[in-house]
Amino acid sequence: MDNSIGVGLIGTGYMGKCHALAWTGVKAVFGDGPRPRLVHLAEVDAGLAARRAEEFGFKRSTGDWRVLVTDPDVEVVSITTPNAFHAEMAVAALEAGKHVWCEKPMAVTLADAERMTAAARASGKTAVLGYNYIQNPMIRQIGAILAEGTIGTVNHVRLEMDEDFMADPEAPFFWKNELAAGYGAIDDFGVHPLSLLQVLFGLPSRVFANLSKPYSDRPNRQGGRRSVENWDVSSILFELGPEISGLMALSRTAWGRKGRIALQIFGSKGSIAYDQERLNELQLYVTSDKPSEQGFRTILSGPQHPPYDRFVPAAGHTLGFNDLKIIECHELLRAIAGEPARVIDFERGLQIERAVHAMGQSHREQRWVELS
């Protein structure tokens, strides 16, 4: 029996390469599941598509993504294009009977996210979003520490996500500054901390958001300037039910912060701290330690934190960003096979989109917005 799966890849930028690496590595790392066949690659034009297909090892290429989604040899489609294309491409792929692995954020509008979810439901195919940070073995370990009650009852969660790629006021305008890409920091960024909340606690029950725009215009390619259409900074209060209060701070203009997703969880018997910039470690403080020796201890990732062991047999040798995508790819293949999988599928992703749009509404109306 042919145990392989035909892969189509749309887009070959930052995330396109990351997906290509994941499809290339997943079988070697995990050993199980189908062997990915790199069948078809699509880009904005045929020339670029052909170059990338040669580099990434795809058999065929096209300058028209619609040709790819109707290719009978393609069984699963990676969508790694800018946000505004996700809905159209995902719906077309699902309607053509393909499984879908689509980058976050799911869509720009709630209506599109709903349409994508309905298409996934109707197709019976697997549709999963690119929430790679939930795959970090250290995040899984945080989940285990919470489940064991090691830090007692959680009362407060604080999340920060910061990068500095828009920190220079003269950084050129690009697609992420358009309203067509979404609210800005919330959907470009905030969806990642929200994905961590979703797997660790569930999503907020209510939110209060304030969005801000540090720089109102940026240089464009034509030598002029263009107004920035969305918000690079967001500050959000949230509640996880009546018991847990929370705070989320997001910025794309935070000089010095390169890939910070800082999570602090405070409980009745201890605290957990984690930062994606140091993704191979977490900090744990427990009151059960002798008072004279209390303090945050650093737990370094190792084979005892699965699936780290599938990459490296030795502790402390560290995983990287692209490895999280390989883990995500493996979970996607498990979901396709009907096995239990740690994924944010379109149904769960839609809940994240509802939280994003509740934050947008809260900012517009300057009030708390409830999420059922």
Ligand X SMILES: NC(=O)c1ccc[n+]([C@@H]2O[C@H](COP(=O)([O-])OP(=O)(O)OC[C@H]3O[C@@H](n4cnc5c(N)ncnc54)[C@H](O)[C@@H]3O)[C@@H](O)[C@H]2O)c1
Instruction: State the Rg of the chain over Cα.
Output: 21
By C-beta, is 251 or 271 nearer to ligand X? 251
Is 12 or 230 the residue whose CB approaches ligand X more closely? 12
Which residues partner with 120 through β-bridges? none
By C-beta, is 11 or 33 nearer to ligand X? 11
Backbone CA torsion sign across 18, 347, 183, 206: negative
The smaller minimum CB distance to ligand X, of residues 52 and 305, is found at 52
Cβ closer to ligand X: 10 or 166?
A: 10
- Least separation, in Å, of the C-beta of 140 and ligand X? 17
Determine the straight-line distance between the first and last CA of the chain, rounded to whole angstroms. Answer: 46
Shortest Cβ distance from residue 163 to ligand X (Å)?
10
Closest CB 29 distance from ligand X, rounded Å: 18
Q: How far is the CB of 54 from ligand X (least distance, A)?
A: 15
Phi and psi for 101 in degrees, rounded to 5? Answer: -125, 100
Residue nearest to ligand X (CB): 13
Considering the complex, what minimum distance in angstroms separates the CB of residue 367 from ligand X? 28
Taking phi first (over 0 means left), then psi (-120 to 50 degrees means alpha), and beta for anything else, what does residue 41 get?
Answer: beta
Q: Which residues bind ligand X (CB under 6 A)?
A: 10-16, 42-44, 65, 80-83, 85, 103-104, 130, 132, 188
Beta-carbon contacts of residue 134 (< 8 Å; ≥ 6 apart): 195, 196, 198, 199, 342, 344
- In this structure, are strands 4-10 and 297-300 parallel, antiparallel, or unpaired? unpaired
Q: Which of 72, 16, 22 lies closest to 44, judged by CA?
A: 16
